[in-house]
Amino acid sequence: MTQLTLCPRSALYLPASNARAIEKARTLAADMIMLDLEDAVPADKKEEARAAAVAAMEAGFGERMTAIRVNAVDTPLHALDIAAVAASKAQYCVVPKVDRAEDAAAVVQAVGKPVFAMIETPVGVLNAAAIAAVDGVVGLFAGINDLKNELHLPEAAGRDQVSLSLQMMVIAARAAGKWVLDSVYNELSNAAGLEAECVHGRLLGFDGKTLIHPNQIEAANRIWSPSEAEIADARAVIEAGKGGAVRMGERMVESMHVEAAKRLLAQARLTA
């Protein structure tokens, strides 16, 4: 299983039962389209959604990365979903509420495609490093809504109250050399709040963000793309970093800074 070079900056969830949303997705700038068979689909629409997801993947989404989110491993729908994804043209499988590495490994073996494991429970957070290390798991998704519920946090709780969990997910992914995407932002009309959360997510080390509405795509793509100022600074760091520790203006540049600068320029080339 090969991992693409660039992690999606924007990964948009769409209910697989919503034909109009699926058709519109083919015109959107999201890096990844994820057709959902889980939370976004009512119980009486699950079978219809599964068939629609497979048909949509057959038609394709152009150059966009594609995924199907299945129902959780402890549900009766899981095996049917996995069989459908395995036979589909979806590039990735997204699995919710992954608590143990052995569950992730079982999905990888059954689906035969790269897997994104969602970390949404206290057990999942504690086992995130083992889950990320599973061969065939290409990345982690943070699922903060469910996690806050499992932690019995009040409705007013925000990211500060789950900051340790978010950092543990990033650390787990980086230790395994995998991708990690930030959780969804729930307030559809709060552009400033979305912007702030995207900035916070990038500063924490997330590679991109999962989204629930097309109007969130632009902010995620922009904030997870290197700015012109960052690109100029990266070039200056590479030029200055000729070995050892050297002074560049009012800061010191070492080999780690040069490595980070090269990584940023590579990302800039890909996002361009």
**Which pLDDT tens digits describe the chain residue by residue (272 residues)?**
334 457 899 999 999 999 999 999 999 999 999 999 998 999 999 999 999 999 999 999 999 999 999 999 999 999 999 999 999 999 999 999 999 999 999 999 999 999 999 999 999 999 999 999 999 999 999 999 999 999 999 999 999 999 999 999 999 999 999 999 999 999 999 999 999 999 999 999 999 999 999 999 999 999 998 877 877 777 877 777 777 777 767 787 778 777 777 887 877 777 77
Look at residue 44 in the predicted model and tell me its pLDDT.
Answer: 93
- Please list the helix, strand and coil fractions of the chain in percent, rounded to the nearest 5, in that order: 50, 15, 35
**Torsion-angle region of 97 (φ positive above 0: left; ψ -120 to 50: alpha; else: beta):** left
The three-class DSSP label of residue 254 is coil
DSSP 114-175: -EEEEE-SHHHHHTHHHHHTSTTEEEEEE-HHHHHHHTT--TT--GGGGHHHHHHHHHHHHH
Look at residue 234 in the predicted model and tell me its pLDDT.
Answer: 76
Of 44, 55, 108, 125, nearest to 77 (Cα)?
A: 44
Distance CA 48, CA 45 (A): 5
Which tokens go with 50? Answer: 């599964």
The residue written with tokens 């497979």 in the block is 54
- The CATH homologous superfamily of the domain defined by 10-223: Phosphoenolpyruvate-binding domains (3.20.20.60)
The residue written with tokens 């200056």 in the block is 236
The reply to whether the predicted model has a pTM over 0.75 is yes
Q: Work out the number of other CB atoms within 10 angstroms of the CB of residue 188.
A: 11
Of 177, 72, 165, nearest to 135 (Cα)?
A: 177
Cα of 181 vs its chain's centroid, Å: 3
Please check whether residue 50 is in contact with residue 75, taking contact to mean a CB–CB distance below 8 angstroms.
Answer: no
Alpha-carbon torsion (216, 221, 226, 227), positive or negative: negative
Cα distances from 22 to residues 14, 60, 214, in angstroms, run: 7, 10, 11
Which phi and psi angles does 189 have, rounded to 5°? -105, 10
Please check whether residue 115 is in contact with residue 106, taking contact to mean a CB–CB distance below 8 angstroms.
Answer: no
DSSP 24: H
The residue written with tokens 């199907």 in the block is 68
Look at residue 2 in the predicted model and tell me its pLDDT.
Answer: 35
**Residues β-bridged to residue 12:** 33, 211
Query: Position 81: which residue type?
Result: D
List the domain boundaries for the chain. Answer: 10-223, 228-271
The three-class DSSP label of residue 211 is strand
Look at residue 137 in the predicted model and tell me its pLDDT.
Answer: 98
Query: Position 49: which residue type?
Result: A
